[in-house]
Every structure is written in structure tokens, then in C-alpha cells.
């Protein structure tokens, strides 16, 4: 079992964390995020260290909230100081990220129509400078960046025979042999 909840969170320079009851607000150079904690969880700030504690350490439900809350606060601190980034690439003849604006992204992925997705607030989508079949999804909220990247990938996930589709950069797609491989050389 992980003991990550006991580790303190170190605030980098330029990041402030304010606690008002059960609401936490983290401000940094990239923006501001807030979170409302569970009733059993409390947060204390001691200089540049943040500690997350629970009221009853022996209760397993409280331990789950303890680890979750510590991870969420840590993700907020990293988000407002460094930000998060996911990169997607598209493979296939005629597949492309067509129109990327501040509010929408248009995909051409082999359907009879173009797929238009609305970009949520707090997320920016930019095409890669060198590769035309790659985009970068960036933001300060880890959950929102991951969710939108998964939503874009879900439009046309990579298929196992030719590998066509939308995938994360560096993702390995297991390839299958086609029907001709099973004939046994006849």
C-alpha cells in the first residue's frame, strides 16, 4: 500500500496556497485553481511546505480521501507552476487536424463528415511547428487536459491492423497480422 499521503508538498517559488475553511486556492504564474476538500480532510501550510491530514487515520475511507486529496493538491501546485501538456499524433491517408481555432478543433478522420470538437476553457490546442500531423494540448488543470486529450483520441482510436487513427505521442499500438497470415503459405 502506498504511503504517499504522508509526504509534504513543497511549494515552488511564486506559488501561494490559501486555505479558507474547506476551500483551497492555489495561485501561480500560469493561473489559479481551487478545490473544495472532503469534511474529514484538512490542509496546513507551514512556510513553503503543505501537509494534508485527516481526522481519523485508522479509518480506511479516510485514508483513501487522504491520498486523493494530497494528490489533487500536488497536481494543482504543479499545474499553476509548470502546467500540463499532452501531445497527439494522427496517422492515416487523408487523416488530419484541419482547423484549430481558440474555441474548436476540426478533424478529418475518414468519416463522411468532419468532426468538430469544442475546446474547453482553460485548455489550449496548438499544432506542432515541425510535424503537421501532431497537436499539443496544454493547460493548468491535469484532469481537464487529460480528459480533452482522451476525447480527441476517442474520435478515431488507432486500429490494430494498419495502425491508422489518433494516438498519444510515444504510444505503442500492438499490431495484428491480417487474414493472409493464417493461410499457412498456400
All domains of the chain in start order, with CATH: 4-81 (3.90.930.12), 84-168 (3.90.930.12)
Please give the pLDDT value at position 28: 94
9-10: strand order across its sheet: 9-10, 49-54, 41-46
Please give the pLDDT value at position 57: 84
**Which is more confidently placed, 5 or 104?**
104
Quick: pLDDT tens for 74-98.
Answer: 999 999 999 999 999 999 999 999 8
Q: Give the pLDDT band of residue 5 (cuts 50, 70, 90).
A: confident
CB neighbours (10 Å) of residue 73?
A: 22
Separation between Cα atoms, residue 22 and residue 31, nearest integer Å: 20
Please give the pLDDT value at position 186: 53
Scanning the chain, the segments in alpha helix (DSSP H) are 60-81, 142-155
Tell me the average pLDDT across 150-164.
Answer: 93
CB neighbours (10 Å) of residue 174?
A: 7
Q: Give the pLDDT band of residue 100 (cuts 50, 70, 90).
A: confident
Quick: pLDDT tens for 18-68.
Answer: 999 899 999 999 999 999 999 999 999 998 999 999 988 888 888 889 889
Tell me the average pLDDT across 175-179.
Answer: 85
Which residues fall within 8 angstroms of residue 29, CB to CB, at 6 or more apart? 14, 15, 80, 81
**Which is more confidently placed, 167 or 2?**
167
Amino acid at each position: 500500500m502506498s504511503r504517499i499521503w504522508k509526504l509534504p508538498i513543497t511549494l515552488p517559488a511564486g506559488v501561494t496556497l490559501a486555505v479558507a475553511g474547506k476551500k483551497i486556492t492555489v495561485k501561480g504564474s500560469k493561473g489559479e485553481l481551487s478545490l473544495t476538500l472532503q469534511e474529514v480532510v484538512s490542509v496546513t501550510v507551514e512556510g513553503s511546505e503543505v501537509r494534508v491530514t485527516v481526522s481519523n487515520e485508522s479509518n480506511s475511507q479516510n485514508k483513501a480521501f487522504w491520498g486523493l486529496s494530497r494528490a489533487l493538491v500536488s497536481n494543482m501546485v504543479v499545474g499553476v507552476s509548470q502546467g500540463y501538456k499532452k501531445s497527439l499524433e494522427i496517422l492515416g491517408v487523408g487523416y488530419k487536424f484541419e482547423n484549430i481555432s481558440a474555441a474548436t478543433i476540426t478533424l478529418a478522420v475518414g468519416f463522411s463528415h468532419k468532426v468538430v470538437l469544442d475546446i474547453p476553457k482553460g485548455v489550449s490546442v496548438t499544432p506542432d511547428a515541425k510535424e503537421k500531423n501532431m497537436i499539443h494540448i496544454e493547460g493548468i488543470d491535469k484532469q481537464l487536459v487529460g480528459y480533452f486529450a482522451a476525447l480527441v483520441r476517442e474520435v478515431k482510436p488507432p486500429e490494430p491492423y494498419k495502425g491508422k487513427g489518433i494516438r498519444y505521442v510515444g504510444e505503442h499500438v500492438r499490431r495484428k497480422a491480417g487474414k493472409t497470415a493464417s493461410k499457412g503459405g498456400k
